């Protein structure tokens, strides 16, 4: 199994082109993860670059699965929150390259994200995903409960509004 690494802000900055390639490949493959087509590599790199301040402040952790120097998957743990929400964390951008799916990388990234959140004293995890997508199946398999489904929440890469499933899990 490919080990999961938590990247330092400097490591993340050095890996921007690789991270951009991962995000770009996922969106072009149809993943509904915040972007619509056309979606170019510079836009993908800008997403990760814009996230560097949160890594530097400690508000977010970035986990990656890397094999032979190539990033095949990622997940983020959001640790920010208001004073009354410091017991929860949000898991976002769980991505596995289309060519590396169904080999357990998504599950490994999620388990490590849970480990990171627990180490920070977080006892409640929240996340969301396009309804009935592979992400929902992955999260259900890990014990996440459906909080609710919001219709027409986000547009697919093709620009069509689709429902989104919000989920949670107590650690
Ligand atoms: C969701 C995603 C991260 C799963 O990654 P993965 O590495 O293929 O997942 P795993 O191999 O670890 O799968 C673990 C379990 O999740 C479930 N699962 C994953 N993909 C599935 C799919 N396409 N259909 C049904 N179940 C699926 C299965 O229960 C699977 O266990 P199994 O293979 O023993 O049956 C990947 O499909 C992806 O990157 N999708 C695009 C981005 C995205 O939508 N992310 C989620 C929202 S941010």
Q: Which domains does the chain have, with CATH numbers?
A: 4-123 (3.40.630.30)
Kindly report the protein residue whose alpha carbon is nearest to atom 1 of ligand 1: 135
Looking at residue 112, its pLDDT comes to: 98
pLDDT of residue 5: 98
Tokens coding 124: 């409640």
Q: What is residue 81's predicted lDDT score, i.e. its pLDDT?
A: 86
Report the atom number in ligand 1 closest to the C-alpha of 96. 39
Beta carbon of 33 within 6 Å of any ligand 1 atom: yes
The structure tokens 């915040």 sit at 34
26 CA: nearest ligand 1 atom: 41
Sign of CA dihedral 128, 132, 138, 142: positive
Size of the chain in residues: 171
What CA–CA distance (Å, rounded) separates 93 from 109? 11
pTM confidence score: 0.98
Interval 57-89: pLDDT, tens: 999 999 999 999 999 999 999 998 899 999 999
Q: Please identify every stretch of the chain with a pLDDT value under 70, giving residue numbers as ranges.
A: none
Which residue of 27, 101, 103, 133 sits with most ligand 1 atoms within 8 Å of its CB, as the best mutation to test the pocket? 101
Tell me, what's the pLDDT at 143? 98
Rounded Cα–Cα distance for residues 170 and 126 (Å): 9
Residue 134 has φ and ψ, to the nearest 5°, of -60, -35
Q: For residue 11, which of 56, 45, 75 has the smallest C-alpha distance?
A: 56
Half-sphere exposure (Cβ direction) of 82: Cα atoms closer than 13 Å: 1
Q: Which residue's alpha carbon is at the smallest distance from atom 16 of ligand 1?
A: 138
pLDDT value, residue 71: 98
Backbone angles phi, psi at 17, to 5 degrees: -60, -40
Angle between helices 105-119 and 134-141 (to 10 degrees): 60
In this prediction, residue 80 carries a pLDDT of 86
Closest CA to 16 of 38, 46, 37: 46
What pLDDT score does 1 carry? Answer: 84
């Amino acid at each position: 199994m490919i080990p999961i690494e938590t990247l330092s802000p400097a490591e993340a900055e050095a890996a921007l082109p690789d991270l951009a390639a991962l995000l770009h490949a996922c969106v072009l493959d149809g993943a509904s993860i915040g972007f619509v087509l056309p979606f170019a590599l510079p836009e993908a790199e800008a997403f990760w670059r814009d996230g560097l301040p949160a890594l530097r402040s400690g508000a977010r952790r970035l986990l990656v699965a890397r094999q032979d120097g190539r990033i095949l998957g990622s997940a983020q743990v959001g640790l920010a929150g208001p004073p009354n929400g410091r017991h929860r964390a949000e898991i976002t951008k769980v991505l596995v390259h289309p060519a590396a799916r169904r080999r357990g990388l998504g599950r490994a990234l999620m388990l490590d994200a849970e480990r990171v959140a627990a180490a920070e004293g977080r006892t409640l995890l929240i996340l969301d995903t396009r309804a009935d997508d592979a992400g929902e199946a992955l999260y259900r398999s890990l014990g996440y409960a459906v909080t609710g489904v919001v219709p027409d929440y986000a547009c697919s890469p093709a620009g069509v509004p689709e429902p989104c499933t919000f989920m949670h899990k107590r650690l």
